Amino acid sequence: MNPTKPSSVNRDQNLAGQVAIISGGLGDIGSAIAVELAGRGAAVALGDIKPAADARPFLDNLNPTGRRSRYDQVDVTDWQQVGQWVERVESDLGPPTLIIPNAAVVTLVPTCEMSPAQWSRDLRVNLDGAFHLAQAAILRLRAHQRPGRVVFIGSWAAHSPHVHIPAYCASKAALRMLCKTMALELAEFDILVNEVAPGYVDAGLTAAVWRENPQLRVSSLKTVPVGRLISPAEVAFQVAHLCDPANRHMTGTSILMDGGLSLTNAATLRKDER
Under 8 Å between Cβ of 69 and 45: yes
- Beta bridge partners, 254, equal 195
Domain-located, residue 35: yes
Q: Is residue 106 part of a domain?
A: yes
Q: Looking at residues 21-46, what average pLDDT do you find?
A: 96
- What is the residue type of 240? A
Share of the chain above pLDDT 90, in %: 80
Question: Which residue range(s) make up the domain with 53?
Answer: 19-261
Question: Residue 272: pLDDT above 60?
Answer: no
Rounded Cα distance, 266 and 219, in Å = 10
| pLDDT, tens digit, 9 for 90 and up, residues 79-100 | 999 999 999 999 999 999 999 9
43: β partners = 19
Using pLDDT thresholds of 50, 70 and 90, give the confidence band for residue 65.
Answer: low
Look at residue 1 and tell me if it is in a domain: no
125-184 pLDDT tens trace: 999 999 999 999 999 999 999 999 999 999 999 999 999 899 999 999 999 999 999 999
The model's confidence at residue 211, banded by pLDDT at 50, 70 and 90, is confident
Contacts with 101 (C-beta within 8 Å, 6 or more apart), sequence order: 23, 76, 129, 130, 131, 133, 134, 150, 152, 153
**CATH code for position 49:** 3.40.50.720
pLDDT mean across residues, the chain: 91
Q: What's the maximum distance between 2 C-alpha atoms anywhere in the chain?
A: 59
Give the total number of structural domains in the chain: 1
1 vs 252, more confident = 252
Whether 216 is in a domain gets the answer yes
Domain presence at residue 38: yes
Residue 67, in any domain of the structure:
yes
Start-to-end Cα distance in the chain = 53
In a domain, 180, yes or no: yes
In a domain, 119, yes or no: yes
